[in-house]
Structure 1
Amino acid sequence: MRVLHILDHGLPLHSGYTFRTRAIVKAQQALGWEVACATSQRHAAEGPAEEVVDGIRFFRTPGRPAGPPLLRERGEIKALAARMDAVAEAFDPDILHAHSPVLTALAALGVARRRGLPLVYEIRAFWEDAAVGNGTGREGSLRYRATRALEGWAVRRADAVAVICEGLRADLVRRGTDPDKILVSPNGVDLDLFGDPPPPDPAFAATLGLNGAEVIGFIGSFYDYEGLDDLVAAMPALVAARPRARLLLVGGGPMEQALRAQAAASLVADRILFVGRVPHQEVERYYALTDILAYPRKAMRLTELVTPLKPLEAMAQGKLVAASSVGGHRELIEDGVTGTLFAPGDPAAIANALSGLLADRAGWDERRANARAFVEAERNWSSNISRYAPVYHRLTGKPA
């Protein structure tokens, strides 16, 4: 089986998007398949037109997005389609597998039809909802409606559609998509990367002033929808209940400056630590320092429909997880069994949930074991990848 994945961006860039792609491709390579990837002009990393990163062959689309809205996106689609045509000529794939946003599917559709290839379109989030979550769009706007219409157009024309969670599947079915056309391929964890966490390093903890602390952590991107402002707002009440509590924030993003200003004005400013972005190979050192990973996402379409990757990585690391009770989290976390859920957008509820969890150390080992077992059984990439094989086989007629 020869598979060409069409991507917004890829390695060596680091994001939840690139880590999921890496997991899919590595698992397919382990099956003996020939796999390659083509990235769009949105891959904002310098490099050659063709390169191998982490054992994965990447073809890059030249140029960068430019021009006014609509014309810019049209140019991106045209450039990616031209690159895919050239790659398909050389690589000779059996199937095309495009990954959201919808621009990749629009570019792939023409190539698929011209070359008589089946197309799988994988949706990791609806582009219009992601724009609202990132603060670059507004729900119900003309652009939002147009993007939603394009998404539906691409879904109808793809030969099969993959989604990462039941929330996205249900939304597509409500729009009229045939349920039999949809494959759910959940977010998963590569246990080779996250399955053997290091112990905490007391010397490293001391450099951060965290020795003896009860550490609440967030490691990821600082977008508004992540609800980190609510987590910062919860800290005074949490410290009042648990004086040794500290908040460790690792990462960066659009909300970083606002969050730093909010933390500096907090009554417990000295209990909130920002360390900025860290190299990917350093992330596990910070995971090791945390007692609880907190994910206080706000309630909105994006978070209700889409399951995140970070809580799964934390579970694989043997960490306690506390998260807001939005749909994407409820699909991953069973309250009181594999994690703790609290009301979204409510700093008091966050403080109560975290203080209660910190006070219940007797139950930590069982909670962590339950979470790890869930990841191993239901969110392990080595088993998740098997979901693609029957679809590929049905569309190509070749053994998978």
Structure 2
Amino acid sequence: MQGKLSEIDIRSILQLIELGQRTGELFVESYGSAIGTDGSDRPFKTSIEQSWFVFFLNGQIIYASDSNHTLSRLRDHLKRFKLDDRLNQTSVPAIATTNAPEYGHLWALLENHVLTPAQGRSIIQSMVHETLFDLLSLHQGSFIFETSPALSPQLTTLEIPPLIAKIMKQIQEWKQFHPLIQSPSQCPIITDEVQLKETLTANTLRTLRRWVDGKTSIRQMARYLNRDILTVAKALYPCVQQGAVQLLPLVSPEGKRKQSFGLFQPDKIPRVVCIDDGTTIRKAVEYILSQHGYEATAISNPLKALSLVFQLKPDLILCDIAMPELDGYEICAMLRKSTAFRQTPIVMLTGKDGFIDRVKARMVGATDYLTKPFGESELLMLVEKYVGLGYPDRPTPGKLLADALQDELDINIPEATSASLPLPRY
């Protein structure tokens, strides 16, 4: 089952899966639209492209997430149990498949008795709710459902009809906040504390100071406080109306340099391997990346590539899809079975700009894709996104830090528009 959301909506897709008692994975990709709608049912538009996975067992939902492979969401949920630090002590479990690393780490915490089953079920239920809130708000995008063995083991299963009814009601209520609050990903910040003191109790104001810092999103606040985003938005809305709290605009992750990709390690040259049977592509990738301070190795034979990749241990793998003997999907799937490459970014190179190719790439564990032919700037932007800058001029850590801070500070706060529900008690 596959298609576009302009032809069938997410609600109908979920109902079909439930009626057919299907087991497998639903993959959904948006067309550059962020979550949330305005009063006219149009998606709130940003340049961010997102994708999501939902896992099913006999027509019931086991788990759901976006395709962001970080553990930040799980860490947020663990914070409410004061267990977020324990995640750093957890080794990557075998169950942490490419499409569900968060689920694997959650199970590791359960097996190590860090979390109780009740806490684990509560976290999964919250994750499923927030993912479905995003999906049921979508109006543009594509989807594919593939029958496959169920994600295992299962901690809980959730029936689809009551979930849809509850979340659709929340989405309708969410529209009342527009245009002052547009997305759960927006970050509130206090701009007039004097005014807040006149309307809020001292205890509520302390809670507000704790979370409303311009860095914590509405969605993160909901996770920390163990509330749904609608409750948190309702509490914030009067403050936003008064102008005492403002919301920072959404910023695309691609528009901000990430510190997690070796930004402060100028002595370590990022290593990139390109697997492609095309001579022109191999030579171009090697030349471009070498000129910009990366260590680039191109491999033409896909069978030899598997053994060489284990020797080279690259920070990023570029892999063509259409190759003889072994195609890119098979290579990616094989590498993902090894713990050595479970977290390594793998970018698929394809001459086809079709949605199905991208979905297949995601299903076998690819991190991203790059359509051929591509230019030098496209290649460099993608490589920098996943492994950071090359170091042809060996810039100092101080310069790198200054550049990073400049990116972080390049954010404009919107003007306030125009009281009062208390925040949920923590």
Q: Identify the structure with bigger relative contact order (alpha carbons < 8 Å, sequence gap 6+).
A: 2
Which one has the bigger helix percentage?
1
TM over 0.5: no
TM-score (norm 1): 0.31
**Structure label with greater radius of gyration:** 2
